[in-house]
Every structure is written in C-alpha cells, then in structure tokens.
Amino acid sequence: MSQQVVAQENILELRDVTVSFGMNRGVSKVLDDVSIDIHRGEILGVVGESGSGKSMLASALLDAVVDPGTVDGEVSYRTDSGETVDILDLEDEELRQLRWEEIAMVFQGAMSFFNPTMKIRGHFLETLKAHDQDVDEGMEHARELLTDLHLEPDRVFDTFPHELSGGMKQRALIALSLILEPNVLVMDEPTAALDLLMQRSILTLLDDLQEKYDLTIVFITHDLPLVKDLCDRIAVMYAFDVMEVFPAGDLSNSTHPYTRSLLNAVPNLTTSLDELRSIEGSAPDPVDIPSGCSYHPRCPLSTPECEQEDPPLEEIAPDQEVACWHHEKVDEELPLALETSDGGSAEVYEGNQSDEPVVVMDDIEVHFETDDGGLLSLFDDPEIVRAVDGVDLEIYENDVVAIVGESGCGKTTFGKTAVGLQEPTGGSVRYRGQDIWETKRGEGTGDRSYDEIRRALQIIHQDPGSSLNPNRKVSSILQVPMKSWQSDLDVEDRKARLLAMLEAAGMSPPEDYADRYPHQLSGGEKQRVALIRALLMNPDLILADEAVSALDVSMRVDMMDLMLTLQDLFDTSYLFISHNLTNARYLAGRAGGRIAVMYLGEIIEIGPAEEIVQNPQHPYTQALHWSTTDLDSNSEGEADESPIRAIDVPDPIDPPSGCRFHPRCPEAREVCATEKPSLDSGTDHCTACFREYSEDHPYWDSEPLGEETIGAHVGGESS
Amino acid sequence: MNGRWLLKRIGMSLLVVWSTITLTFALIRLMPGSPISRMRAELYQQYGATMTQAEIDRQVRLYLNVQPDEPLWQQYITYLLDTFQGDLGHSYVQGIEVTVILADVLPWTVLLLSIAIMFQYTIGILLGASMAYAEGSRFDFLSTSVSTFLVSVPFYVFAFLLIFFFVFQWDLFPQGGKYSTGLEAGSLAFYRSVLYHATLPIVSLVITGFGGIALSMRANSIQTLGSDYIRGAQLRGLSNFRISYRYVARNAILPLYTGLLIQIGFLFGGAVILEQIFSYRGIGYVLLDATLYRDYPLMMGTFMVITIAVVVGVFVADLTYGKLDPRIQTGDSQ
C-alpha cells in the first residue's frame, strides 16, 4: 500500500475507510468508504442519527472495531515529530502504545466504562502503570485535570464509580482519557445520557481543556444544536458515509438537503412551532444501501441523476465539502426554518381547558428514608431525602403541564404522586375533588371507587423497550385495557378498535403492526403502542415521564404531534416530564399549556409555556434556557460562559438553607442563604425568587455572595 | 451497611435460632411416644422399685432439659434458658453431655466441608474462567459436557464408586475412620493420617460439586467480557493478565457468592449421608446415630447446631457481601 504523507495541518487523515460485518443476510457495511481530514487543534463535530455509522467512525480511528468487524482503508496519523503512521497497519504493541498516549477515547456510557469493583484512583494508577509512566507525576496531572473539571480530586479518587452522579462520572472519565496527555480525544456521545444543563456545562469545560492542553477533539453526537457552538467544523453522517463538512459557526453554511431537513426537525426555542417538520421515511439498512446517493429516497430534491450516481464529497468553499448534486439549490428549496421565522414572536395557542380541575395537589410532600453510613451510625436517625417538598399544582381537563428540571430534582416522584402511584407523605392529591389515598383506604366520602380513579390516571414510561411485555403481540397488549374496562365489546369490536387506533397513530398497515412482537418495532413505534395502550383506558390524565427522550431527535416531533392529535380525540390531559426545555415547549406550547420548573423538590417557576421560554424570570430557568442552544446565535466557535456557579446539584438529603438554588445562583445575595422565597401566586406566571419581589425587599440591600461562601455549601451528590 | 440493618439482621438470625429451639421443644412434648414418656418408661422398668416419681422426673429433666410435672409454659422457658446457656442436655445412649459430644465431632465435619468447598470453588472458578476465554473451542465444549455430567451425579453414588475402587479393589485408602489409631495427637504423622482419611470424602464432594460452579462462572465471565469496561480497559492498554483477574474474574465471581451460602446449608445436610458412607464420625454421623437409637437429646442438639452453623454462615456472608461488591449497600431499603 502506498503510504501517503499526512499534510502539515492535519493530524488524522482517513481514506476510503470501510467497516464491514459479515451477516447472514449479506455483508453489512457500517462505514462506507469514508474519507475525511481532521485538522490539528480543531474540534470536529460528527453528527448523525442513530445507526448512521458515527460510532463506527470513532472505533475505526483507534482501530478498535469489535470482532467480527473488519476495517479497510487508511487511517493515517501524523505524530508530533511529523512522521506518518498508518494506524490500521500497526503491530499490537505499537497500537497499544498509540491508544491513550496519542489518541484517547471517551465512550458513550460513562456509567459502564469504569470497573464497578475498583475505586476511581485505581483506574488512573493502572493506566499510568500500563504505559510505564511516572506514577507520582501522573497522579499530580490527574489531580489537575479533575480540578479543571470542577471535581475535588481527593474525594473522587476514593469513591467507587457507582457513588458518583452521572455528570461527575462522565467528567472523571474525561480526566482519565487525558491522563497520558494524548493529542487527539475521540468522544462518542459523551453527554447523551446527561441532563441538558450538565451537557452544556461539560461542553464549556471541554472548550477550556482543549485550549489548555492543545487537543484535537472529535466529538460524535446525534445532537447538532448542542455542539454547534463548541465545534470548529461539523461533519454530517447519513447511511454510513459523510454527507458534508461545514464550518460550525453558522448553520446556514450547511448545503446538504439532509442537514437542512434534520435542522428543521429539531425542536428549539426560537423556531416557530409550525415550521418544524419531521423527515419522511427511515434510514437505510446497512445490508441494503440505496444505489446512487443513499439519501435520494427521502430527499425532496432528488432527480434521476441522484438515483444512479453517488455524488462524491467535493470542496465548495474553504473548510467546506458536500456530497450532493444539487447543493446550489438547497438555499432556495429548503431554507432553514429558523431563518424564515420571525424570531421570538411565536404564536400562542388558545388551550381549551375547562375551569374544573381534574387533579388537584395541595402542599404535596414526598420524603424517603435512606439508610446510609457505616457501622458507626448505629443509632443515628435515618436520613431523609426530600424528593418533593411542598408543591401545589392543579391540572385541568385538556391541559398540558410540562415539568422541567435536572435529574434528581424530584420530577418523576412528583409525577407519580399526581397519578396516584406514589403516596405522598404530606398534603393531599384529589381527583375531581375526591382524595385518592383516602378513597383507597376506604375512608373517602366521594362516590367514585378507587378502581375508577386508577383507570382515569395513566402513565407512559420513559423506556418504551421495557414497558411492553416482550412475549405478547401488539394486538394482545392493546386488548388488555379493553377487556378489563369495556367487557361489553366482543373480540371483533376490540380488534376493529385497536386497528383503528394503530391507523390513527400512523402505524399502517395496522393489521401488520398488530401481529408483531415489541422487539419487531422501532423505539418510536413502541412508544406509540404504549401511548395507545394508555389511551384505551380512556383516562383523564396521562403522566408521560420523559416519553420522548429515548427517541431520535427527528422522531420526537412526530411523537409529540401524535400525543397532541390524540389529546383532541380523547379529551385527556398530559403531565409531561422532561429535562429538556425544548420538548416541554413544543408539547405544552402547542396545547396552550404550562411549564413548571422544578429544583430540588420544589416548583420554582410556573407559567404559560411561551412565557416561560421567552421570558424566564428565575435564574435557574435562565440557566436551563442557556443550556438549550440557540440555533440562531452566530457566536463563533466559543461556548459562552456558564450562568451557574456550581455544576453539580447539591445533595437532596441536606438541601441548602434559604433559597435552595443559592449556592449555584449567579444573582445570589446574603439574604438568599437564610430566607426562602415563596412562589408568588395570583398571576399566571409565578416565580420563587426575591428578584421578583418589590424593590423594598431586603434582597436589594443585601451583599452578593462571595466565592468562598459558595464552596462551603456545594457538596455534590453522594449517591 | 448500617446499624439499623445490622440490628435487624441479628434479630432475624436470633428468630431462626429461636424457632429451631421451639420446634425441638414442641417435638419432645408432642411427638406420639414422646421421648419423655419413653424415658420414664425405661427408668421405671429399670429402677421401678427403687426410684420415686420425683427422682424419675429429676432424671428426665437432667437428660431432656424438661421438668415433666411443671406447667407447659414453665417447661418451655426453662428449656429455652438452658439451651441459650449452652446446656443441651445429656445423651442417654452415651450418658454424657450433648455439648461435649458435639464439641468433639463438629470440628471434623467443618474440616471436611471447608476443604471441600475451597476445592470446589477454586477448581470451578479457574475452569469456568478458562472456558469463558476459550468460548466456542473444543476445550470449552468438552469441559462444559464433563461439568454438566459430573454435576448431575449425586455425591453418594460417586462416593460408593470411590470406595469400591480405591478401597476394595486397589486398597489405596482406608475405608473409614478419621485417623489411624496409636498416633500422638498433634504430631506430623497424625495430621498426615487425618488428611489421608479425609481424602475420599472430600474428593467425592469436590468432583461432583465443581461442575456447577464452573458452569455459572463461565456464564458470568462471558457476560462480563462483553461489558464496556472490559473494552475500555483494553483500549487503555492494560495487560491481559490484569484485565483477566482485576476486571473479568473480580466481577464474574460476585454472583457465585450467593451460591456459596446455599452450598453451606446443602453440604451440612449432605454430611449425614457422606459421613455414614465413609464411617466418618462427624456431626452428620452422630445425627443419624442419634435418630436410629432414638437418642432425642443428642438428635435435637445436633439439629440445632447445624441450624446455627447455617445461620451464622449466611450471616457472615451477608455482612461481607458489601465488601466484595461495593455496589451492594447491605441493608439498602430497595
């Protein structure tokens, strides 16, 4: 093989890299002739939907494709001394040294990357020893890295992986990947499992690290808006190949129809809600990639030329390449929705809520006891986690209330309490005026039975895969609710009804879908079945717990549209739980509903969806808003400053005094540490913050909190 | 692990022990042809003329820890207190205290079982791990078949085979006993003789026991090998040796620990048959003897000691599980 010399400005060059797996159905090409250059010192974003081959690209860079996959082509690496190495040709020992010392990798699930039976310190030590590094010096470097990532080295070293929160674990993993001072860091969906706010905080830190340690970063993600500000260039992958590469600063630089459609399908905070369109069709099977341009079956611009010949990646501007025959026409035919929309003046829909509340929650408290501590705490009182601490909420008919907050803020517990699945330790939950838990205990005065109430309050779980019985067909899964609640229907009626529902949910031909098992459905389809199953109970309120979070970006809008359509048909209300302000905005905004922001067991701001999104009052809501990247901003390659002062959520066992947000709040003053603001009521838009109080409130005369006061309060999660 | 949980756990263990004591008490009192009336009849037959009723009762109490003329609840409390003080009554076949007999035989059973368990697990874990590494190879296939076969052979069948060949055909090992007579206790020759006599019983347990452990170790290891942290460790350039013992073995062993608990109880039960076959006077041997001779105090004392041994074994394993797997917070409310 003729060894090419890697150009000066590049650190990695890929030429015709193909990864294939032999399968029963034929050879499956999960990476198809990819050629791309990675510049020294840049952050390259690789964006694609699930199953587009982007993770394979990451593995190929380290020649770490799992068996029985095979990699062909050339992956050339230019060392510091200017030599060129073909990574795919290296001997085992050379490869072992190259990995981590030159190119390191951060995997998707930090949760499972650490050995569960070894402390974090051990992971650092063994890596240093395996590469014959000076251990003391290396550990000093590790401390510095952890400190850079806002972790306390001594505390983190002495913990087992499961004792760290997801965000902390991910940051510890980034530190571990940089311990040998590599030149290139490959990150495969490093933040996908985390909250948006944590994702953005980590991205901000990455930006600093990249500068400090002079790194080249390949950042692989499905979330284009997320990395837009971080990256220098973005490569878009579709059907196992790179479709285009463009400078990240301005998304209107993108010239491939797929990128445009993808961007128009992503919910965000500025695009008018009507402009969002999902992409028709689905991504191709790796065994059977369409001839010509692999995107042509779904492309609105496709012509016969596209079906016959695969367009090569051609350079159309500096740093910009695209593989499309029609890229000149893209601006005309597929304009970016966010450019055409008139900014923030999105239309507010009139909700058709009644005045009669379906579920009323009054001063709800849910406290859990935990047992934590060693033998010495023999006679200590058990610790109390205040998952929900004094929350009021009324949900009306045909209402949509979206609860937004970071993980661990108590939003799921609160949701379960609302639908009567979790008994509150204080306060009351009433369904149409009747206390649910009193009814269950037989003490109630109302005339509804507990079973009736139970039927009226349904739930859709986060993970569609595990909420459907894998051993039953869709038709029998969906018949269960009808059998128990509409026993007058005979088999034929039930059948006809469920087919009609499947059809209405866009799963056609319905006969085909009814006959499938859950594993034969895609994630989106499973979630639809779960939604139909809940709706067949004819409920008044459905708790949708992160119901779209597990779906691909382009599927989310579809799913939420379906939820809204069916809401009209079935007269139901949704309590929608999400960590993502954009999803909340989409669902609640379209139905004229409300968004409630939760922090450490309390609602700190609630109001009409658009109002919360466009005009957030509480500093925490503002931080959540910051975490949702503004597609429209054209800031150049720099992730802007984080608006929160501490990255990790405090321990809910011992929440901060006064306003619970004060240790992280950029606006906190001394009074915030001692007094607690209440959620003002009366208006539509309520905020629990002293800044909303009148000007004679002591807040305005109080001293701003200094840095040293903050450190003392921030404990971080311990479990 | 925390205090409340520990107290609860100790409470549960005590409850099991208490139920055992109560059950044995109920057995004595309620069994048709109860030990009490049987003993009275015997005493009456023997010394009928010379012994007063009160004296017979005193004898009964001495042997059975029961005062026949007291009300039932009083007898129960006396029995309970005596038992908790370690007084298990007198064997009326041998005429000495039950505790003395048990203290004499228990160490021998513990010796057999602990060596057997140690070998079972060592061989099982090593073999299982190698099978996982060579998954799909001839070695894997053969070992799996052999393990499956051996685990389905009952140990006493195997024990008979061992005796037939090694004792009667080839005369390599003694047929029974715990050590050769005439050796000075504590001397090297004595210990060698002890091991020599224990060999066959241990072998019969080990050969029929390691297969199951190897098979589950194989399954656990294969699962562990597929996890992300193994891939991460490989990318970080750790040596294969370190990955295999610190990553694969360390994590694959965890589920076996639960099996160990069940094994302890199972082996104590099996000791009854095993010790009979090899005429090995351990606790199982004594238990069977006591049952055959209707030596109720000894039988019940043995029964109780076995229960307590299992309870303590499980308790210790529970306490240490958290040390082995840091993710298990012993006593977590979930």
CATH of the domain at A92: 3.40.50.300
Chain A residues close to B229, C-beta within 8 Å: 112-116
C-alpha neighbours within 13 Å on the C-beta side of residue A412: 10
Chain A residues close to B237, C-beta within 8 Å: 96-97, 99-101, 127, 130-131
**Range name among A165-169, A481-485, A594-598, B57-61 with the lowest pLDDT average:** B57-61
- Domains annotated for chain B, with CATH where assigned, are 3-84 (no CATH), 106-324 (1.10.3720.10)
- A328 & A363 share domain: no
The pLDDT value recorded for residue A267 is 67
- A393 & A468 share domain: yes
- A53 & A85 share domain: yes
Chain B residues close to A68, C-beta within 8 Å: none
The pLDDT value recorded for residue A629 is 63
Nearest CA in chain B to A115: B229
pLDDT tens string A200-250: 888 888 988 998 988 999 999 888 877 888 888 999 988 888 889 988 877
Q: Which of B239, B303, B248, B226 is nearest to B271 (CA)?
A: B303
Answer yes or no: is pLDDT of B8 > 70: yes
The answer to whether A575 and A401 have CB atoms below 8 angstroms apart is: yes
- A619 & A593 share domain: no
Largest Cα span, chain B: 90
Nearest CB partner across the interface for A117, out of B227, B325, B329: B325
The pLDDT value recorded for residue B146 is 93
- A451 & A549 share domain: yes
Contact yes or no for B254 and A107 at CB 8 A: no
The pLDDT value recorded for residue A679 is 79
For B221-240, letters b (16+ CB in 10 Å) and e give bbebbebebbbbbebbbbee
- The torsion angles phi and psi of A244, rounded to 5 degrees, stand at -160, 160
Q: How confident is the prediction for chain A on average, in pLDDT?
A: 81
Domain assignment present for A224: yes
Answer yes or no: is pLDDT of A338 > 80: no
- A314 & A362 share domain: no
- A396 & A526 share domain: yes
- E-only strand ranges, A327-480: 357-370, 383-396, 400-404, 426-431, 434-435, 457-460
Strand order in the sheet with A357-370: A383-396, A357-370, A426-431, A434-435
**Range name among A195-209, A622-636, A704-718 with the lowest pLDDT average:** A704-718
- A592 & A686 share domain: no
Can you tell me the distance from the alpha carbon of A531 to that of A563, in angstroms, rounded to the nearest whole number? 8
Answer yes or no: is pLDDT of A379 > 60: no
Q: Mean pLDDT highest for which of A189-198, A685-694, A704-713, B242-251?
A: B242-251
Return the amino acid letter for A544.
A
**B 229-258 residues with CB below 8 A of A?**
229, 231-239, 242, 246-247, 250-251, 254
Average pLDDT estimate for A404-408: 84
Average pLDDT estimate for B172-190: 77
Contact yes or no for A130 and B236 at CB 8 A: yes
The pLDDT value recorded for residue A682 is 64
**Range name among A508-522, A640-654, B301-315 with the lowest pLDDT average:** A640-654
**Range name among A21-30, A376-385, A404-413, A555-564 with the lowest pLDDT average:** A376-385
The pLDDT value recorded for residue A574 is 92
The pLDDT value recorded for residue A176 is 92
pLDDT tens string A262-289: 887 776 666 666 666 667 666 777 777 7
Nearest CA in chain B to A162: B327
Average pLDDT estimate for A91-108: 87
Residues in Cβ contact with A115 at an 8 Å cutoff, skipping those fewer than 6 apart = A122, A123, A161, B229, B233, B246, B247, B250, B251
Can you tell me the distance from the alpha carbon of B254 to that of B321, in angstroms, rounded to the nearest whole number? 9
Domain assignment present for A347: no
pLDDT tens string A570-591: 888 999 998 888 888 888 888 8
Can you tell me the distance from the alpha carbon of A282 to that of A32, in angstroms, rounded to the nearest whole number? 18
Largest Cα span, chain A: 86
Peptide bond into A68 cis (omega under 30): yes
Domain assignment present for A132: no
Nearest CB partner across the interface for A369, out of B246, B325, B333: B333
pLDDT tens string A410-457: 888 899 999 988 889 888 898 888 888 888 888 767 778 888 888 899
**Of A279, A313, A340, which residue is a domain's last?**
A340
Nearest CB partner across the interface for B238, out of A107, A130, A163: A130
- Residue A548 tokens read as 């779209």
Domain assignment present for A157: no
**Of A281, A313, A340, which residue is a domain's last?**
A340
- A193 & A334 share domain: yes
Return the amino acid letter for A128.
L
User: Is A124 at the interface with chain B, CB within 8 A?
Assistant: no
The pLDDT value recorded for residue A713 is 38
Can you tell me the distance from the alpha carbon of A150 to that of A172, in angstroms, rounded to the nearest whole number? 10
To which residue do tokens 């038709």 refer?
A475
- Residue A614 tokens read as 């466009």
Q: Mean pLDDT highest for which of A49-58, A231-240, A319-328?
A: A231-240
Query: Which residue of B6, B220, B227, B229 is the best one to mutate when testing the A interface, meaning the one whose CB has the most A CBs within 10 A?
Result: B229
User: Which residue range(s) make up the domain with A77?
Assistant: 10-102+182-340
Give percent of chain A above pLDDT 90.
11
Q: Which of B325, B328, B120 is nearest to B224 (CA)?
A: B325
Answer yes or no: is pLDDT of B246 > 70: yes
C-alpha neighbours within 13 Å on the C-beta side of residue A220: 24
Q: In a 3-state reduction of DSSP, which class is residue B159?
A: helix
Chain B residues close to A378, C-beta within 8 Å: 2-4, 6-7
- A474 & A421 share domain: yes
Average pLDDT estimate for B213-240: 88
Domain assignment present for A107: no
Local structure of residue A376 (DSSP, 8 states) = G
Alpha helices in chain B (DSSP H): 3-30, 35-47, 53-64, 72-84, 98-133, 138-151, 155-162, 188-225, 228-235, 240-242, 250-277, 283-292, 296-324
The answer to whether B91 and B291 have CB atoms below 8 angstroms apart is: no
Domain assignment present for A89: yes
**H helix or E strand, kind and range, residue A316:** strand A314-317
Average pLDDT estimate for A486-514: 84
Cβ of A534: how many Cβ atoms within 10 Å? Answer: 24
Contact yes or no for B250 and A379 at CB 8 A: no
Q: Which of B248, B237, B243 is nearest to A105 (CA)?
A: B237
Q: In terms of pLDDT, which residue wins out, A423 or A708? A: A423
ipTM of this complex prediction, to 2 decimal places: 0.73
Into how many domains does chain A fold?
3
Q: In a 3-state reduction of DSSP, which class is residue B288?
A: helix
Contact yes or no for B228 and A160 at CB 8 A: no
Answer yes or no: is pLDDT of A712 > 60: no
- A418 & A501 share domain: yes
Distance from the first to the final alpha carbon of chain B: 13
Q: Taking each helix axis as running N to C, give the angle between helix B250-277 and helix B155-162, from 0 to 180 degrees, rounded to the nearest 10.
A: 60
The pLDDT value recorded for residue B66 is 66
Contact yes or no for B4 and A107 at CB 8 A: no
Domain assignment present for A137: no
Q: In terms of pLDDT, which residue wins out, B51 or B12? A: B12
pLDDT level of residue A640 (50, 70, 90 thresholds): low
Chain A residues close to B246, C-beta within 8 Å: 115, 118, 126
Nearest CA in chain A to B239: A130
What DSSP string runs through A2-24? Answer: PPPPPPTTEEEEEEEEEEEEEET
The pLDDT value recorded for residue B304 is 83
Can you tell me the distance from the alpha carbon of B212 to that of B128, in angstroms, rounded to the nearest whole number? 9
Domain assignment present for A121: no
Q: In terms of pLDDT, which residue wins out, B327 or A611? A: A611
Nearest CA in chain B to A61: B235
Q: In a 3-state reduction of DSSP, which class is residue B182?
A: coil
Average pLDDT estimate for B207-234: 89
Q: Which of B112, B105, B100 is nearest to B271 (CA)?
A: B112
Contact yes or no for B5 and A371 at CB 8 A: yes
Average pLDDT estimate for A340-347: 43
Answer yes or no: is pLDDT of A258 > 90: no
Answer yes or no: is pLDDT of A388 > 70: yes
Nearest CB partner across the interface for A377, out of B2, B251, B333: B2
- A312 & A405 share domain: no
Nearest CB partner across the interface for A118, out of B3, B246, B254: B246
Can you tell me the distance from the alpha carbon of A556 to that of A564, in angstroms, rounded to the nearest whole number? 12
Q: Which of B126, B157, B302, B310 is nearest to B221 (CA)?
A: B126
